[in-house]
Amino acid sequence: MITDNKALTQACQKLATSRYITLDTEFIREKTFWPELCLIQAAMPQYEVLIDPLAEGLDLTPFYELLRNKQVIKVMHGCRQDVEIFYHQAKLIPAPLMDTQVMAMVCGFGNAVSYEMLARRLTNVKLDKGSRFTNWAQRPLSDKQTAYALADVTHLRDIFEKLEAKMRTNGRLDWVVEEMADLTNEATYLQLPKNAWKRFRIYDNRLHVMGILFKVAAWREVMAQKRNIPRGRVLKDDTIREIALQAPKDAAAIEELRSIPKGFMRSHYAKGLIQAVLEGQQMEKQDLPNYPKMVGNRAGIGPLVELLKVLLKQCCKTHDVAPKLIAKTEDLERLASEESPDISILSGWRYDIFGKAALDLKHGRIALTCINDEITFVPVNTPETDTQTDQEQPPANAKKLKEVAD
């Protein structure tokens, strides 16, 4: 356990000699807006340390310099919250970065596979996760807590090396690099009040609804950050949705809403909320942010969306990749409803894995069937398919599947 600056400097110098290091953090944020960093775990082959950021007088500068070191790969699992902490504490994003959860997704381990499952399947280790929700701010930490914390980076070494070897074999390292773009984008971790509306999904684009949502969400974000308390302690998401949809005209109307807590309008938050609601109602269209285009599903499109979901699962099974990495339900709805949607599945490797077959299904060039308990697709002879160009041929396995079906 590192608690002084000399030991931290020496540890970071040693870690900087490795091709990669594994990282994890323990933090608490149940009662705060910003997470409180309580412990840092770091490891390289044959070496691991715990760093106590709560130790009096400890300067984490050497550690943050290590995170900036471009010669050392930073390996974490499901790392969005960890990176958020580093960005908030030191305005940095570790680079280069590899997330083993994403690596596992491109290696066929399913959507958002847990660290425990990877440890069990790749290293034959069963982890004890009993200390996950303990108080990491207490000192001293128990032996059980430190053992738990170390396990989060020691087994990660073997997990990373095995996943990396598999990706070198299947040629999918570039896939992960592409996925890391979002995790290493500074905009991912900026908690700007003007962007707080993005946390909500309201399928109502009336001017006053969107205006109130924009202003009230921004007001809540300011209050939560200023007081360093969770957003829900200021106002819950459901309450903001109701306020936006009901558009109350004054304080009395706000107080009558079912989701407004009793006594809220007598609290110190009331004045700010009323002002935000009124400002939202007065917003002009040109002052609103560019809301994402809502999917306007065509009537009767539901069955096609369900067929696309089946096709997605089968394509992902065939290519040993997680469906979540390929497409979301919103993507499938847009593909079914729109003529030429701007979605990721229609370009790059996602098009090769799924997008091409999805378009063929949508336009009646293939059909789904079941052969030997496997969902497969076969070509459909239509005037369109008879005149297809070389660039519009049926999926690569369609001919073989048709022979089997015949």
pLDDT in tens, the chain (406 residues): 999 999 999 999 999 999 999 999 999 999 999 999 999 999 999 999 999 999 999 999 999 999 999 999 999 999 999 999 999 999 999 999 999 999 999 998 988 889 999 999 999 999 987 777 889 999 999 999 999 999 999 999 999 999 999 999 988 888 888 889 889 999 999 999 999 998 888 778 788 999 999 999 999 999 999 999 999 999 999 999 999 999 998 889 998 999 998 888 889 899 999 999 999 999 998 888 876 555 556 667 889 999 999 999 999 999 999 998 899 998 999 999 888 899 999 998 999 999 999 999 999 999 999 888 888 888 987 665 555 544 444 444 444 444 444 4
Per-residue confidence (pLDDT) for residue 291, from 0 to 100: 66
Rounded Cα–Cα distance for residues 214 and 212 (Å): 5
The dihedral built from the CA positions of residue 85, 87, 91 and 92, taken in this order, carries a sign that is positive
Q: What is the pTM of this model?
A: 0.83
Please tell me what DSSP assigns to residue 295.
Answer: P
Per-residue confidence (pLDDT) for residue 205, from 0 to 100: 79
Q: Which tokens go with 18?
A: 């490795």
Mapped onto helix, strand or coil, the DSSP state of residue 75 is strand
Q: Which tokens go with 26?
A: 């323990």
Place of tokens 């701010």: 137
Per-residue confidence (pLDDT) for residue 285, from 0 to 100: 87
Distance of CA 47 to the CA centre of its chain: 30
For residue 129, CA distances in Å to 26, 116, 126, 149, 248 come to 13, 8, 9, 10, 47
For residue 30, CA distances in Å to 84, 332, 383 come to 16, 35, 61
Pairing of strands 36-44, 366-371: unpaired
Per-residue confidence (pLDDT) for residue 289, from 0 to 100: 83
- Please check whether residue 404 is in contact with residue 370, taking contact to mean a CB–CB distance below 8 angstroms: no
Rounded Cα–Cα distance for residues 18 and 45 (Å): 8
Per-residue confidence (pLDDT) for residue 62, from 0 to 100: 98
- Give the CB-side neighbour count of residue 211, counting CA atoms within 13 A: 18
Per-residue confidence (pLDDT) for residue 402, from 0 to 100: 41
Place of tokens 């009395």: 252
Pairing of strands 47-51, 36-44: antiparallel
Strand segments (E) across 116-263: none
Rounded Cα–Cα distance for residues 212 and 243 (Å): 8
Q: What own/partner pairs with CB < 8 Å and gap ≥ 24 does 144-150 have?
A: 146/1, 146/50, 149/24, 149/26, 149/39, 149/41, 149/50, 150/41, 150/43, 150/48, 150/50
For residue 321, CA distances in Å to 46, 113, 114, 273 come to 32, 12, 16, 46
Rounded Cα–Cα distance for residues 349 and 283 (Å): 42
Q: Which residues fall within 8 angstroms of residue 125, CB to CB, at 6 or more apart?
A: 119, 155
